[in-house]
């Protein structure tokens, strides 16, 4: 099995046992790795009506065939399970050093079930695994946890993925954190980890599977490095990180402000340049990445360096809350990373609270805090209250869908799809984003696909995906679906979504790592299979076509800015999308024929048995 160890580590926390789980060759071929392979493994454990925090809900860490090779921008891993936030398929990816070390520890992933009686951590070293007591770690933040384990285990190459108090307290959008500010952020998988009493996973080792054609991989590595280092975007990412998009995004009407009701705002105050002017900022990279998009703010606190906010975070705690106080944005981001909660869901929930406060649906007595737009002190305080599940923070930590239910607000004003809060690209700016949000496997997802890149003159010639009119509703959904297939594959291989190598290069790399021939169209098919399998999981957990919709607060036409008087025609987009996907319009399920065509016989049986 070139490119793989051919095994996951199976962990039963209830029994306190670990064992190797051999992977079937056909599954590696059909699902490749990462989140797709995790979905294949999780599928058999899904039961209609299952409780997301039940011990039997598996938590899966997975790397892919690219991880651990010399190809740049491949130190990434996926964390998957049924989401505590949404109750349907959940996944998130992270970078840093941890993914590289997880593969080096001798496994393609970890499949965890059960619940430990008391806090534990997993220690995996060169193919050997132990479940160890974590009493000394419980209550520690994510940075402290990593440091304590590195000190205790006296291993400089050790890398740790862990939860903070957000995960311990079962905040519904708690995340999993590793290295310097690298986060598997969305879907609340940190709460799933916390529910299992699993504080951390520490990995080390030097195991590297062979690749099928080493000389060719050396050549493709060189080519990929040349492609990346000569790209203009690489240089800009290094200088300004993902915040580089703030000005341009606002110009396009792609950055939501004032809880999705505006898209014209003081962007200059929250750009990458503004961050550099306000603080001493350095960049840092995931293992083997020549770009280094990570930010480190050196002089924000005296005792530690803190992570600089990414674009999504800066918007969620900034313009979305009408807040232009950089200190509070950096502080809110630091708290989220240190204690492990998702910055997008946290920021959107806080902005929603401010909106409801303005409307009188939430008042100071009920909130216990003043919530006027732009109140930077309240934003930071609310983040602390969400992490600690104190006062109104307990409700905000459940997400906007639950907030609307509890507070008696119009459900269409809650900015989520299927329970996952809307990211910081505006659905009105690119119809391809609108349909991607409505149908994404985990809910409102800006990474699967990041269609704004296509809408801004991007293309994938191998799949006939190219930029059209960003506002048109006819003809975009099919391309958006193909782009979802491709971006799903990035999370299977695992490859950073900022990599600019072509699909042809990707297919060649995969073929020469695994020794199996994959064409660009084969990659599209594997992505399509993965999307349909994840859809089948969510269908079994209750998702129907009714759930493929956007909140009206994110589609109502605005009066000014880059999207003035524009709104996606969701009916047109959805019908075209369903036609292309061969999903059943009545039920929202993939048709039996489509499932059988993709080799998903078990899903066809489970969804269409009656």
Residues in touch with ligand SF4 (CB under 6 A)? 73, 95, 285-286, 289, 291-294, 496, 498
Nearer to ligand SF4, 8 or 287 (CB): 287
> What's the closest the beta carbon of residue 97 comes to ligand SF4, in angstroms?
10
What is the phi-psi region of residue 260: left when phi exceeds 0, alpha when psi lies from -120 to 50, beta otherwise? left
Q: Are 163 and 142 in contact (CB under 8 A)?
A: yes
- Burial letters 492-516, b for 16+ CB under 10 A, else e: bbbbbbbbbbebebbbbbbbbbbeb
**Which three-class secondary structure state does DSSP give residue 95?**
coil
Question: If you search the block for the tokens 């759930």, which residue do you land on?
Answer: 547
Nearer to ligand SF4, 228 or 385 (CB): 228
> What's the closest the beta carbon of residue 236 comes to ligand SF4, in angstroms?
12
Closest CA to 419 of 31, 60, 45, 85: 85
> What's the closest the beta carbon of residue 352 comes to ligand SF4, in angstroms?
28
Nearer to ligand SF4, 58 or 308 (CB): 308
Nearer to ligand SF4, 192 or 493 (CB): 493
> What's the closest the beta carbon of residue 532 comes to ligand SF4, in angstroms?
27
Nearer to ligand SF4, 324 or 498 (CB): 498
Diameter over CA atoms, the chain = 68
What is the phi-psi region of residue 485: left when phi exceeds 0, alpha when psi lies from -120 to 50, beta otherwise? alpha
Structure tokens at 359: 């409307």
Nearer to ligand SF4, 294 or 551 (CB): 294
Nearer to ligand SF4, 385 or 494 (CB): 494
Give the Cα separation of 129 and 106 in Å (integer): 10
Our CA angle for 490, 527, 549, nearest 5°, is 95
> What's the closest the beta carbon of residue 243 comes to ligand SF4, in angstroms?
13
Distances (CA, A) of 67 to 159, 481, 510: 15, 26, 11
Distances (CA, A) of 478 to 538, 550, 578: 21, 18, 9
In the beta sheet, which residues pair with residue 113? 12
Give residues with Cβ within 8 angstroms of 6, minimum separation 6: 22, 23, 28, 108
546 by Cβ neighbours in 10 Å (0-12 / 13-18 / 19+) ranks as exposed
> What's the closest the beta carbon of residue 289 comes to ligand SF4, in angstroms?
3
The number of CA neighbours under 13 Å toward the Cβ of 554 is: 32
Q: Where are the beta strands (DSSP E) in 43-103?
A: 59-62, 77-82, 89-94
> What's the closest the beta carbon of residue 285 comes to ligand SF4, in angstroms?
4
Nearer to ligand SF4, 129 or 175 (CB): 175
In the beta sheet, which residues pair with residue 345? none
Give the Cα separation of 345 and 342 in Å (integer): 6
Nearer to ligand SF4, 179 or 606 (CB): 179
Q: Residue 17 CB: number of other CB atoms within 10 A? A: 12
Distances (CA, A) of 547 to 419, 437, 538, 585: 10, 11, 11, 12
Q: Residue 153 CB: number of other CB atoms within 10 A? A: 15
> What's the closest the beta carbon of residue 270 comes to ligand SF4, in angstroms?
20
> What's the closest the beta carbon of residue 228 comes to ligand SF4, in angstroms?
9
Q: Are 431 and 454 in contact (CB under 8 A)?
A: no
Nearer to ligand SF4, 181 or 397 (CB): 181
> What's the closest the beta carbon of residue 118 comes to ligand SF4, in angstroms?
35
Nearer to ligand SF4, 23 or 496 (CB): 496
> What's the closest the beta carbon of residue 281 comes to ligand SF4, in angstroms?
15
Q: Residue 135 CB: number of other CB atoms within 10 A? A: 10
Nearer to ligand SF4, 420 or 495 (CB): 495
> What's the closest the beta carbon of residue 396 comes to ligand SF4, in angstroms?
28
Give the Cα separation of 53 and 438 in Å (integer): 25
189 by Cβ neighbours in 10 Å (0-12 / 13-18 / 19+) ranks as buried
Structure tokens at 358: 């303005």
Q: Residue 32 CB: number of other CB atoms within 10 A? A: 30
Q: At what angle do helices 376-388 and 326-339 cross, to 10 degrees?
A: 10
> What's the closest the beta carbon of residue 286 comes to ligand SF4, in angstroms?
3
> What's the closest the beta carbon of residue 527 comes to ligand SF4, in angstroms?
19
Nearer to ligand SF4, 21 or 236 (CB): 236
Nearer to ligand SF4, 362 or 496 (CB): 496
């Amino acid at each position: 099995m070139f490119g793989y160890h051919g095994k996951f580590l199976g962990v039963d926390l209830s029994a306190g046992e670990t064992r190797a789980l051999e992977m079937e060759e056909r599954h590696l071929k059909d699902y490749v790795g990462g989140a797709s392979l995790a979905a294949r493994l999780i599928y058999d454990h899904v039961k209609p009506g299952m409780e997301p925090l039940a011990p039997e809900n598996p938590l899966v860490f997975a790397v892919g065939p690219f991880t651990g090779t010399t190809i740049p921008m491949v130190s990434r891993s996926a964390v998957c399970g049924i989401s505590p936030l949404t109750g349907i398929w959940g996944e998130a990816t992270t970078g840093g050093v941890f993914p590289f070390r997880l593969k080096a520890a001798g496994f393609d992933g970890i499949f965890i079930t059960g619940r430990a009686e008391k806090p534990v951590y997993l220690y995996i070293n060169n193919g050997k695994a132990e479940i160890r007591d974590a009493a000394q770690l419980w209550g520690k933040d994510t940075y402290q946890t990593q440091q304590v384990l590195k000190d205790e285990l006296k291993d400089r190459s050790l890398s740790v993925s862990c939860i903070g108090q957000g995960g311990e307290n079962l905040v519904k959008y708690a995340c999993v954190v590793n290295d310097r500010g690298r986060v598997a952020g969305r879907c609340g998988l940190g709460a799933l980890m916390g529910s299992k009493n699993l504080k951390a996973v520490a990995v080390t080792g030097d195991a590297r599977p062979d690749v099928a054609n080493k000389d060719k991989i050396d050549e493709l590595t060189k080519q990929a490095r040349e492609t990346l280092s000569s790209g203009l975007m690489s240089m800009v990412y290094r200088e300004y990180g993902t915040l580089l998009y703030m000005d341009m995004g606002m110009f396009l009407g792609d950055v939501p402000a004032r809880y999705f009701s505006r898209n014209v705002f003081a962007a200059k105050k929250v750009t990458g340049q503004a961050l550099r002017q306000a603080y001493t900022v350095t960049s840092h990279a995931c293992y083997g990445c020549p770009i280094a998009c990570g930010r480190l703010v050196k002089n924000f606190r005296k005792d530690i360096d803190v992570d600089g906010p990414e674009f999504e975070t800066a918007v969620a705690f900034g313009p979305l809350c009408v807040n232009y106080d950089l200190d509070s944005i950096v502080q809110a981001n630091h708290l989220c990373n240190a204690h492990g909660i998702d910055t997008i869901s946290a920021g959107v929930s806080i902005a929603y609270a401010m909106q409801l406060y303005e409307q009188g649906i939430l008042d100071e007595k009920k909130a216990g805090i003043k919530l006027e737009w732009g109140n930077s002190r309240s934003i930071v305080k609310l983040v602390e209250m969400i992490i600690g599940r104190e006062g109104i923070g307990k409700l905000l930590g459940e997400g906007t869908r639950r907030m609307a239910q509890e507070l008696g607000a119009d459900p269409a004003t809650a900015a989520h799809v299927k329970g996952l809060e809307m990211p910081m690209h505006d659905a009105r700016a690119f119809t391809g984003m609108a349909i991607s949000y409505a149908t994404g496997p985990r809910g409102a997802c800006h990474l699967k696909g990041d269609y704004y890149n296509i809408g801004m003159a991007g293309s994938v010639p191998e799949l006939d995906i190219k930029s059209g009119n960003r506002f048109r509703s006819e003809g975009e959904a099919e391309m958006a679906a193909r782009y979802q297939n491709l971006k799903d594959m990035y999370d299977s291989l695992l490859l950073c979504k900022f990599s600019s190598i072509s699909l042809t290069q990707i297919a060649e790399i995969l073929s020469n790592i695994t020794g199996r021939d994959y064409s660009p169209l084969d990659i599209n098919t594997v992505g399509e299979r993965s999307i349909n399998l994840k859809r089948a999981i969510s269908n079994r957990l209750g998702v129907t076509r009714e759930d493929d919709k956007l909140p009206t607060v994110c589609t109502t036409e605005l009066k000014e800015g880059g999207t003035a008087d524009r709104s996606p025609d969701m009916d047109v987009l959805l019908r075209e999308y369903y036609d292309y996907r061969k999903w059943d319009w009545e039920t929202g399920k993939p048709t039996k024929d489509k499932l059988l065509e993709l080799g998903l016989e078990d899903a066809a049986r489970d969804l269409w048995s009656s």
